[in-house]
Amino acid sequence: MDSQTNVAVKATDEAPSPDLAAPELYLNRELSLLAFNKRVLEQALDESMPLLERLKFVCIASSNLDEFFEIRVAGLIKMAELNPNQRGADGKAPQELLREIADRAHALVDEQYRVFNDVLLPAMEQEKIRFLRRSEWTTEQDHWLENYFHEELMPVLSPIGLDPAHPFPRILNKSLNFIVQLQGKDAFGRNSGFAVVQAPRALPRLIQIPSHIKGSGPYDFVFLSSVIHAYVDDLFPGMQATGCYQFRITRNSDLLVDEEETEDLLEALEGELAQRQWGDSVRLEVAQNCPEHLWRYLMETVHLTPADVYQVNGPVNLNRLMALPDLIERPELKFPAFTPRVHKGMTQDAFATLRERDVLLHHPYDSFSPVLEFLRQAARDPNVLAIKQTLYRTGAKSPVVEALIEAARAGKEVTVVVELRARFDEAENIDLAEALQEVGAHVVYGVVGYKTHAKMILVVRREESGLRHYVHLGTGNYHPKTARLYTDYGLFTSDTKIGHDVHNVFLQLTSLGKVTSMERLLNSPFTLQRTLIQRIDREADNHRAGKPARIRAKMNSLVDASMIQALYRASQAGVPIELVVRGMCCLRPGLPGISDTIRVTSVIGRFLEHTRVFCFENGGEPEVWLSSADWMERNLYKRVEVAFPVLDARLRKRVLAELQCYIDDRVRAWELDADGHYTRTGVPDEDHAGAQQTLLFEATAT
């Protein structure tokens, strides 16, 4: 254990006791996020996974790193300018942290390209999937590509010569560009020597050479950058291109809307979205062979430093390779297809089913179709009076939105809380909000200053006994596509008290008034954090009293210092604590006298782990909560979130068993130590399956 983990203590009248707020007890969230991306990249080296799926993990790591720079690094740069002495729980100042991030990010990018070039490219070539360099093109391939360049590319390319009349152009965020070094004079006698070529995003980054071209295999590809490089001379008649080098600029993409001064949030966001692509520069990626004088020219032009420059040995945007598996008909190189379980009762008569019992879905093992069918049945049922729903991320042309539109057209009272500020989905959410308004649905944007992250559907139905509430609560988004890629829970219930609580949360979002007490739900920013800490402290009291005590929890991120301190207190009392934290974790497990009883693992596999599950032993009567919220400051204090109990004993037992499956994972899990390092707990073999594979097998065998 390094010196960082020496526990700070403070003197008391009785005996020294650890200061649980001491900076050395906390890992840094940004560095923890980089560690998560390193674990994602490590999946590309796992030979037990199909080859094209391993390539996807390289793409995912690349995409994650883009967002990391666009949001986290951009925010730290601003913080370093405006409040350089501000420190997080770990005690790091912004400038110090930016230096550490640069060191680790450069190493991570170098490893990405090493894995791509030295591991995946040779493996794909063995499977007759080739990425042809210009030196490898046959004469026939050269002719075909040159014709492709002139017919498909050249008409949409607009080279810009750099001279006093043509200053350096505005470069779109994360777009592919080339800086070209030229010799000779043009028709006007100009010889500035440089030009920039911008590649429109509509152009494919991978070009497949038809197999009938002599020398070509079934899956031969050429990068767009190689084609432009090969024929760039044709863009500058009478001149010679002596160098052509790709580059890419990443910009600050966080939206800045002054909500207190904004009267119309939708209109303000529409205006801000137009500027997102032109934020301040935070990173410059250039081809590895770009001469120093050129990359320094680019760096200075966009106001960056050498630490912000990433020279890469390959395409500057590996994420664009995500399209490759769809171009290749090789099922054996991909994950086997599977058909999720479908809950028949929900698809046949959802309301009759829910009058009898609660229903729990665990996506993607369980199909998302019952959620859609629940909405469709509500839209068509003459006894349904109203539907209320929150929408955070749904995707374009969403069947969820289509069902709500159908309900509005059928005369139902439809109220939709659309979160316009769902990062990178803002434009789609604006479009769907306008589509819902056109059919007469009531569309609101939640509470100023608080993102609406809770996932809720409330259906009000007239029955013989009176009005009855039917509810769906989820840990993830109402997005059919991600429901096949992310693990999430969804609970259907007609429990009267839960229905009443959900109704009150919608009142908070759509109306005005004081906080109303909840009978079943916990909600932020009001009761969630406080109640969770009470539950953690109760486990400590139970353990000291000799009662059964245990904490098990699964989430995406554990960052909030108050939650970490509560877990430290419980560990000091001796409570066994098992945490499955996919991404950022600022808690240090295994510190003597602080967190001896805490174990933290991160499971990474075929599906993106997205469930939030909080389980408390409660003296032998376990409580199980599902939630849309991670244990982060933003979720606990700055968002509208809910946590909901699993009341049905049968369903509670199922959730506990599935959570234990993750805790016991010795195949896809990585264990965190006190110094912030992750070690894989095992390797795949015939006798052991990870949690995801186990649950997938159970689902498909049902």
Known catalytic residues are 453
User: How far apart, in whole angstroms, are the C-alpha atoms of residue 663 and residue 273?
Assistant: 41
Q: What is the enclosing helix (H) or strand (E) of 468?
A: strand 466-474
Q: What angle do CA 301, 302, 303 make, to 5 degrees?
A: 95
| 335 half-sphere exposure, CB direction, 13 A CA radius | 16
Q: For the CA atoms of the chain, what is the radius of gyration?
A: 28
Whether the CB-CB separation of 628 and 642 falls below 8 Å is answered with: yes
What is the token pair recorded at 513?
A: 């008034």
The SS3 of residue 645 is: strand
The SS3 of residue 54 is: helix
The residues near 217 (Cβ < 8 Å, ≥ 6 apart) are 128, 130, 211
What is the token pair recorded at 192?
A: 């500035």
Distance, CA of 270 to chain centre: 23
Which residues make beta-bridge pairs with 470? 459
User: How far apart, in whole angstroms, are the C-alpha atoms of residue 289 and residue 226?
Assistant: 13
User: How far apart, in whole angstroms, are the C-alpha atoms of residue 219 and residue 221?
Assistant: 6
Q: What angle do CA 289, 293, 295 make, to 5 degrees?
A: 60
For residue 558, the one-letter residue type is: L
User: How far apart, in whole angstroms, are the C-alpha atoms of residue 539 and residue 548?
Assistant: 8
Give the other-Cβ count within 10 Å of 442's Cβ: 15
User: How far apart, in whole angstroms, are the C-alpha atoms of residue 348 and residue 333?
Assistant: 37
Q: What are phi and psi of 166, to 5 degrees?
A: -130, 80
Length of the chain: 702
User: How far apart, in whole angstroms, are the C-alpha atoms of residue 286 and residue 203?
Assistant: 20
User: How far apart, in whole angstroms, are the C-alpha atoms of residue 285 and residue 313?
Assistant: 10
Whether the CB-CB separation of 157 and 180 falls below 8 Å is answered with: no
- The tokens 């839209």 sit on which residue? 379
Give the other-Cβ count within 10 Å of 591's Cβ: 20
DSSP string, 34-89: HHHHHHHHHGGG-TTS-HHHHHHHHHHHHHHHHHIIIIIIHHHHHHHHH-TT---T
Q: CA 209, 215, 219, 220 torsion: positive or negative?
A: negative
Q: What angle do CA 635, 639, 642 make, to 5 degrees?
A: 75
User: How far apart, in whole angstroms, are the C-alpha atoms of residue 583 and residue 603?
Assistant: 9
The SS3 of residue 458 is: strand
